[in-house]
Structures are given as structure tokens and as C-alpha cells.
Amino acid sequence: NTDKVQLVAGRSNPKYGGGEVISPIYILLGGRATREFEGEEIAVDTIAVKAARDYLRNIRNLDVDSHVVVDSKLGRGSFDLLTVFRDKNKEIPLANDTSFGVAHAPLSEIESIALNAENRVMAEYRNRDKAIGEDMKVMALREKDKITLTIG
């Protein structure tokens, strides 16, 4: 269950069109992991750090090599849960955690409008101006037949 992340903000000296990173973002990966399988040691910390860094490379304008420090302090998985996946002949798949997700589909008309507005604005403007960051908000309000979008 590598589901815990601690993020410590870095420091920067921003200026229009650029700036400098004074101290990097620090990311600590936590949780528990199985560290061996069939007698073979698994380098879970190395794997976790590489996966996190690879994922962060998707963020535009983030130089992962100099703007981010990723660390991993994964503990060992609970002894009671080590056998959960050993018996592959179970009719019902087992889980070692109680996490679950909730979703609904399809998107409502107003949700689709908000999502399409975000995608279009980002596609048209983000590559044109570096000052447009990664975080964009689109608030959609429907009052009877009138739809108002606020974009920030």
C-alpha cells in the first residue's frame, strides 16, 4: 500500500518569463510494500522513486532532475497479508486493503461543457505563453437556460 505521499514545497524566485528555483520540491513516498517474492529481494524503493520521477516528467516546465528530490521510505508489508496473493486458485479475487473508488458516467451536459472549455483553452494558449501554468479552473454555473463559465 504505497498510498502515502508527503510533499514539501520548494522555494523559487519567480519573474515574468522565467525565474530560478532556489530549493527543490521534496517528495517523500511512504506506505508499505512487499520486499521479496519467492525468495528474491525486490528493490521497492528504487522502483518507487523511478516511477514517481518518470511520472513527474509529464509536467510541463518542471525540470525533474534539478527541481525535485524524490525519496522513498516504504516499510515492510504486514506479515498477516503476505499470503493474500499466494493462492491463485481462489474464485473471488482478494485484496489487502479496503480502498475503493466511486464514479459515475456519462458526464452531464454542464460537466462536458466545463471539461471541453478547459481542454480548448489549454490547447490554444498553454504552448503560446509559458506563464500559463498547469493548474486551471473552470467553474460552470447553470441558471435555468443560462450557462456562465468562469475560467482562472
Sign of CA dihedral 63, 132, 129, 118: positive
The position carrying cell 525565474 is 19
Question: What average pLDDT score do residues 27-38 get?
Answer: 89
Whether residue 72 is predicted with pLDDT greater than 90 in this model: the reply is yes
Q: What is the pLDDT of residues 107-134, one digit of tens each?
A: 999 999 999 999 888 888 777 776 677 7
For the domain covering 1-102, report its CATH number: 3.30.300.10
pLDDT (0 to 100) of residue 96: 64
Would you state the pLDDT for residue 85?
62
Which region among 19-23, 56-60, 77-81, 139-143 has the lowest average model confidence (pLDDT)?
A: 77-81
The total number of residues shown for the chain amounts to 152
Predicted local confidence at residue 16, as pLDDT: 82
Count of CB atoms situated within 10 Å of the CB of 44: 21
